[in-house]
Structure 1
Amino acid sequence: MRRFILTGTPGAGKTSILMGLERLGHQVVREAATDVVARRQARGEDEPWTRASFIDDIVAEQVQRQAAAGTPTARVQVFDRSPVCTHALARHLGLPVPPALSAELERITAENVYDRRVFFIRNLGFCEPTAARRISFQDALEFEKVHERSYHELGYELIDVPADHVDRRIATVHQTISRLTA
């Protein structure tokens, strides 16, 4: 099983690319943080990312999704974000890296859970806010830099996917995965 990660700036189009890859037959795993935010907001927490426990909840969701994602016939899985992204999020928010996240980072490294080549989806020149994404474009660019640092520090190689029409970005990622898994 080869597990690839899509990462990058909030609002860069990762979800659109992921859906396109799914249409092409790839098994995909959706982002955990957005669902954690939605659940907490449904319980009345307006800004759940301000609490340190937010990072623990994301890690728990990521671990659960990664464990549940395996199907016997799938050769490739594509993940919208990973625990390395959660590490970048903690840094960006000024929150401590909790023990559960440190342990998960150690586990995914020791077990080679994800391919060391990561698709870095570049920003589109804007960032549209949503209920879960309340970040300015300028802050999103800073967050992009934090992501790059986290992945590099943890030994990953970034495959740059520049801003372009979504269909071309999907084709780029699909063709690269096909080449890497041939």
Structure 2
Amino acid sequence: MKTKRIVITGGPGSGKTALIKYLEKEGYPVLHEISRDVILEAQEDGIEQLFLENPILFSEKLLEGRLKQFHEAKNCEAPILFFDRGMPDVTAYMDFVDTHYPNNFSETCLENRYDEIFVLPPWEEIYEQDNERYESFEQAEKIFDFLKKGYENYGYKIHDVPAGSIKDRVVFIINKLENIL
């Protein structure tokens, strides 16, 4: 049995991480977002905002980490594995900041395919900025648009997850997966 790789993505502050934690609490295997780890590692090295100061290096680290996660799915014995963001998020963010990136970024995204993509829209009522989330809500809305377009450009069909309680969102995702897998 091949494990289905399911990406949960969305702009900053869309409730994505809370949803992933809920899925994990419910017993689903998940692979967590790694960008905060990359940010904190850079801050320990004296670089306050690595993405802003060196977006290519930051994005290389993210792509490398997400590719590693993608390959870790081969060791998963569950039928479904959830990812908190996928590799196309990297190029979507680069497109958002209008920064050219090496061709191997896109090649990596094209060669390593996820099975389903769920996108959470911006949700102003739950949006909060913090030390690692520096984007305004308006920027989060634009990032959401770039994420959708980015995944679609790689040939993915996007499933929009409606706003609502975490439980309602999880029910939506699980029901959708039962109908398509």
Determine the structure 1 residue equivalent to 2:87: 83
Q: Is the 8 A contact 1:29 1:69 kept in 2?
A: no
Give, in whole Å, the separation in 1 of the partners of 2:129 and 2:83: 22
Q: Is the 8 A contact 2:88 2:150 kept in 1?
A: yes
Determine the structure 2 residue equivalent to 1:180: 180
Q: Which amino acid aligns with 1:136?
A: S
Q: Which amino acid aligns with 2:120?
A: I
Return the match for 2:64 from 60, 64, 69. Answer: 60
Q: Render the CA deviation track for 1:60-79: whole Å, top value 9, x for unaligned.
A: 11112222244352111111
Give the match's secondary structure for 1:5. strand
Q: Render the CA deviation track for 1:128-163: whole Å, top value 9, x for unaligned.
A: 112211000011111111111111111111111111
Identity of counterpart residues, as a percentage? 24
Give, in whole Å, the separation in 2 of the partners of 1:44 and 1:150: 31
Q: Is the 8 A contact 2:5 2:73 kept in 1?
A: no
Give, in whole Å, the separation in 2 of the partners of 1:142 and 1:13: 16
Give the match's secondary structure for 1:74. coil
Determine the structure 2 residue equivalent to 1:153: 153
Is there any run of 5+ residues in structure 1 with no aligned partner, and where?
Answer: none
Q: Which amino acid aligns with 1:179?
A: N
Say yes or no: does 1:2 pair with 2:1: no
Q: Is the 8 A contact 1:124 1:163 kept in 2?
A: yes
Correspondence list, 1:1-182, <5 A: 1-50=3-52, 51=54, 52-108=56-112, 113-115=113-115, 117-126=116-125, 127-181=127-181
| Alignment coverage as a number of residue pairs | 176
Query: Judging changes above 3 Å, is the alpha-carbon distance between structure 1 residues 23 and 179 closer, same or farther for their aligned structure 2 residues?
Result: farther
Moved over 6 A (4+): none
Is there any run of 5+ residues in structure 2 with no aligned partner, and where?
Answer: none
Structure 1 length-normalised TM: 0.89
